[in-house]
């Protein structure tokens, strides 16, 4: 893939007859440079580092984007890993500017970061995916403690309004921006308002595990485990541990899987295992089972196929008929992260 797209505009996201590349404004553009950084970390091959540096630089302008909550996704995957692996201070400066941009979307009235700007359709929507963007703020809190407070308030609002008592989640909650009151709870990606969208559940597991890593607040660990246990105990979880696109999707088992949700879960579960005491082995074994499936011929594409993507059978947006049974760059990113975390546990 790297040879095929070199010198072309956009960054790869999925396929549409060929590798589907997105402009530098898309929420997925940080995952390709992030994946390159993981390949450098895994192999030590400086060619991956050099490529990661080139493609990370192509996302630099996103640090000034105040029109989306996805600043964390875009910047932390590329610039965050780049800083961690090289110590390059220019990466640090971009991340801090990005954190300042993301913080402008926080409302003290609502107690959350606004997700989408859709005037006339929704007032102040917040989606479960937004938990992932808090990592940038929590990292940046080393220079401004205000970012930590924003992240905690957002995580607590999400826990209170998006997470259900059984550990599952609504995809979206819409708040009244003037009063902070909830206007409605619904789905934009799932099968129904009361169903459980599988990648959203993966974001919840990962997001609250990450919150515990930074804060050591017990409520976040408890929530991460509740979200994980919901999946592990669900009767519609397939034997190979790669979930359907929604746990309550019509036509199960004759419906699409989502390998990207499985990859996010595997990575999150390895970290959750580190914090779970007597249950550590259970979560690690579950992560290993997912990786056995994802590294099998059923999901891992042969070299030279799949337009260069690693995983097959992802589901981007089933309801929108977009990227269904297709490779997804964010699936590959979290797959590589899970493999690196698995290898670290063997040392």
Q: Among this protein's residues, is 193 annotated catalytic?
A: no
Per-residue H/E/C for 1-25:
CHHHHCCCCCEEEEECCCEEEECCC
Per the document, the length of the chain is 347
pLDDT given for residue 68 in this prediction: 95
Q: What is the pLDDT of residue 11?
A: 86
Q: How far apart are CA 121 and CA 251, in angstroms?
A: 30
User: Tell me, what's the pLDDT at 267?
Assistant: 99
For residue 198, give the nearest of 156, 253, 259 by alpha carbon. 259
54 Cβ contact partners less than 8 Å away, ≥ 6 residues apart: none
Angle at 294 between CA 293 and CA 296, to 5 degrees: 65
Instruction: List the one residue out of 181, 157, 179 whose CA is nearest residue 170.
Output: 157
Report which DSSP code applies to 197.
Answer: B
Among candidate residues 129, 246, 258, 332, the one labeled active-site is: 129
194 is catalytic: no
Q: DSSP labels for 200-212?
A: HHHHHHHHHHHHH
Residue 321: other Cβ atoms inside 10 A: 8
Three-state secondary structure call for residue 39: helix
Q: What are phi and psi of 198, to 5 degrees?
A: -70, -40
Q: What angle do CA 158, 232, 165 make, to 5 degrees?
A: 35
Q: What is the pLDDT of residue 312?
A: 97
Task: Please say whether the beta carbons of 68 and 53 come within 8 A.
Answer: no
Instruction: Give backbone dihedrals phi and psi of 142, rounded to 5 degrees, phi first.
Output: -65, -20
State the catalytic residue, choosing from 16, 50, 70, 240: 70
Q: What is the pTM of this model?
A: 0.96
Beta bridge partners of 160: none
What are the C-alpha distances in Å from 164 to residues 137, 168, 226? 25, 5, 10
Alpha carbons 81 and 52: distance in angstroms, whole number? 10
C-alpha 231/C-alpha 269 separation (Å) is 11
- Identify the CA nearest to 167 among candidates 230, 253, 249: 230
Blockwise average pLDDT, block size 10, the chain, 347 residues = 75 74 82 98 98 96 96 97 98 99 98 94 97 99 98 99 98 98 97 98 99 98 99 98 98 98 99 97 98 98 90 96 94 99 93
Q: Are 244 and 253 in contact (CB under 8 A)?
A: yes
How far is residue 55 from each of residues 9, 58, 306, measured CA to CA in Å? 11, 5, 21
Question: In the prediction, which pLDDT does 347 show?
Answer: 78
């Amino acid at each position: 893939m790297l040879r095929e797209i070199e010198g072309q505009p956009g960054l790869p996201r999925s396929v549409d007859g060929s590798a589907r590349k997105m402009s530098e404004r898309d929420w997925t553009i940080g995952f390709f440079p992030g994946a390159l950084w993981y390949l450098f970390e895994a192999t030590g091959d400086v060619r991956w580092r050099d490529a990661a540096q080139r493609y990370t630089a192509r996302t630099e302008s996103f640090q000034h984007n105040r029109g989306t909550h996805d600043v964390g996704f875009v910047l932390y995957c590329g610039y965050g890993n780049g800083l961690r692996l090289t110590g390059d201070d220019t990466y640090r400066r971009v991340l801090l500017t990005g954190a300042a941009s993301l913080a402008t979307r926080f409302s003290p009235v609502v107690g959350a970061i606004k997700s989408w700007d859709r005037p006339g359709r929704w007032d102040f929507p917040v989606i479960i995916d937004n938990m992932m963007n808090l990592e940038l703020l929590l990292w940046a809190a080393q220079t401004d403690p205000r970012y930590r407070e924003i992240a905690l308030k957002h995580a607590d609002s999400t826990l209170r309004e998006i997470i259900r008592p059984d550990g599952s989640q609504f995809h979206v909650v819409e708040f009244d921006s003037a009063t902070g009151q909830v206007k409605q709870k619904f789905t934009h990606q799932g099968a129904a308002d009361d169903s459980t969208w599988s990648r959203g559940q993966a974001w919840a597991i990962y997001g609250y595990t990450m919150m515990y890593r930074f804060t050591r607040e017990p409520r976040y660990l408890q929530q991460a485990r509740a979200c994980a246990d919901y999946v592990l105990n669900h009767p519609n979880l397939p034997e190979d541990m790669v979930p359907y696109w929604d746990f309550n999707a019509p036509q199960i088992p004759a419906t699409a899987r989502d390998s990207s949700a499985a990859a996010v879960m595997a990575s999150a579960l390895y970290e959750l295992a580190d914090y779970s005491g007597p249950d550590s082995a259970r979560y690690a074994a579950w992560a290993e089972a997912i990786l056995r499936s994802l590294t099998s011929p059923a999901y891992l594409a042969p070299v030279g196929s799949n337009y260069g993507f690693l995983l097959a059978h992802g589901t981007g947006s089933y309801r929108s008929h977009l990227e269904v049974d297709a490779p997804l760059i964010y699936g590959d990113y979290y797959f590589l992260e899970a493999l690196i975390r698995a290898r670290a546990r063997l040392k």
